[in-house]
């Protein structure tokens, strides 16, 4: 399997929401992108603010851009902020370099897509992405 089917994308989203509920987080937007960075499924919970889809997408897109979790991008900020700005520029302003964008891999490590979450703290967003990916039977890469 080299693809996240829609069924399993929805399972990722539901599991991420369950994790958010368990942790009593604020309303979340969860985005699943395919390996080419294109939207497969999105759900934004009631009460999540206006641009949460765009932020969540930007985390997932940034992860796919370089083949790492978006926490890796975040960790570049202290020493190489200009790299993040350059990356954002050449991506067409599609990258949000903070935790919460997590790669989805299959059991053999093949890249299938990415999950991005926004709504609570970046750390909590990331925890829900990881949980959602694992519950759906995939392997997460957060950095």
Supply the Cα-derived Rg of the chain in whole angstroms.
Answer: 14
CA dihedral of 14, 15, 17, 20, whole degrees rounded to 10: 180
Residue 120 DSSP label: S
Query: Is the CB of 2 or the CB of 107 nearer to its own copies?
Result: 2
Phi-psi region of 85 (alpha: psi -120 to 50; beta: other; left: phi over 0): alpha
Query: Is the CB of 41 or the CB of 130 nearer to its own copies?
Result: 41
We find the least distance from the C-beta atom of residue 23 to its own copies, in angstroms, to be: 18
Estimate to the nearest angstrom the gap between the alpha carbon of 97 and the chain centroid: 11
We find the least distance from the C-beta atom of residue 62 to its own copies, in angstroms, to be: 8
We find the least distance from the C-beta atom of residue 38 to its own copies, in angstroms, to be: 5
Instruction: Give the residues lining the site for its own copies (CB under 8 A).
Output: 2-3, 5-6, 9-10, 29, 34-46, 48-55, 57-58, 62, 64-68, 73-74, 77, 80-98, 111
């Amino acid at each position: 399997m080299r693809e996240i089917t829609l069924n399993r994308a929805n399972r990722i989203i539901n599991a991420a929401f369950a994790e958010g509920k368990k942790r009593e987080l604020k309303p979340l937007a969860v985005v699943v992108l395919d390996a080419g960075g294109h939207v497969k499924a999105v759900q934004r919970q009631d009460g999540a603010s206006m641009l949460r889809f765009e932020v969540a997408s930007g985390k997932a897109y940034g992860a796919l851009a370089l083949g790492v979790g978006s926490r890796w991008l975040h960790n570049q900020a202290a020493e190489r902020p200009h790299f993040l700005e350059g990356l954002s520029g050449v991506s067409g302003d599609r990258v949000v370099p903070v935790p919460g964008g997590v790669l989805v891999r299959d059991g053999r490590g093949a890249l299938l897509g990415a999950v991005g979450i926004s709504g609570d703290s970046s750390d909590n967003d990331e925890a829900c992405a990881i949980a959602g990916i694992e519950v759906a039977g995939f392997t997460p890469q957060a950095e």
